[in-house]
Chain A
């Protein structure tokens, strides 16, 4: 079993829909990253969080440390949100050299 599991693997939705992508992990962590990989391959860091909730524009990330679970929400989704969303966890007592990455959720927003 992978230490970081994302669901769903693929998600197709209509423009305007509310999107939720989930990340579950099985190890102790000090932080969790949400990343966005564009169709061309480049990756952008969306959030780094260790507790609670963060919001940036239409994106919201939450984490529940006790349940070992994080969610990424996109409100009022738009075709430009189409990308692969990757969750990565930073292991407890380690720095960025001990990141474990999920395999990603491919999101497609249809106009």
Chain B
């Protein structure tokens, strides 16, 4: 079955450490996204990628970095510069980013990151 795999499900880190969250998809989608979810708030876009070797900042990119070296993979690094990294992180993909595409989002099961 095609889908998106995020790992690990739970991640614990000490303050000051960088941490990388994995996201892999086998849906052959061009577009991939990283969202952050905090209690009582809607999902917020961190970064997105329209195609391999390209990515764009979302609404809350500060303190995060990404890479898109392969179509299937879009890892997110939470750096020590991120002030409030504890959150639930969701990866998503769609066939395309673009307006004209009938392109629903497919989500992974998320990674809950706790930084102490």
Contacts and interface: CB of A to CB of B under 8 A. Distances in A.
Given A95-B98, A95-B99, A100 B104 contact: no
Interface stretch (B15-23, B36-44, B70-78): B36-44
B107 A33 contact: no
Q: How many A residues are at the interface, by size bracket?
A: 20 to 34
B45 A97 contact: yes
Residue of A2, A41, A45, A93 with most chain B CB atoms under a 10 A cut-off = A41
B66 interface: no
A45 B44 CA distance: 17
Interface string B76-116: 00000000000010101010111101111111111010000
B97 A86 contact: no
B37 to A, nearest CB: 8
A93 B99 contact: yes
Interface residues of B, number: 30
B101 A42 contact: no
B64 interface: no
A99 interface: yes
B42 A86 contact: yes
A71 to B, nearest CB: 18
Contacts of B92: 43
Contact of B103 (A96, A102, A103): A96
Contacts of A104: 42
A88 B42 CA distance: 9
9 contacts: A2-B42, A30-B99, A43-B107, A44-B107, A94-B99, A96-B94, A96-B97, A99-B43, A103-B41
Interface of A: 2, 4, 30, 33, 35, 40-45, 48, 86, 88, 90, 93-97, 99-104
Shortest 3 CB-CB contacts between residues of A and residues of B: A101-B42, A42-B109, A43-B107
Interface of B: 31, 33, 40-45, 48, 56, 58, 88, 90, 92, 94, 96-99, 101-110, 112
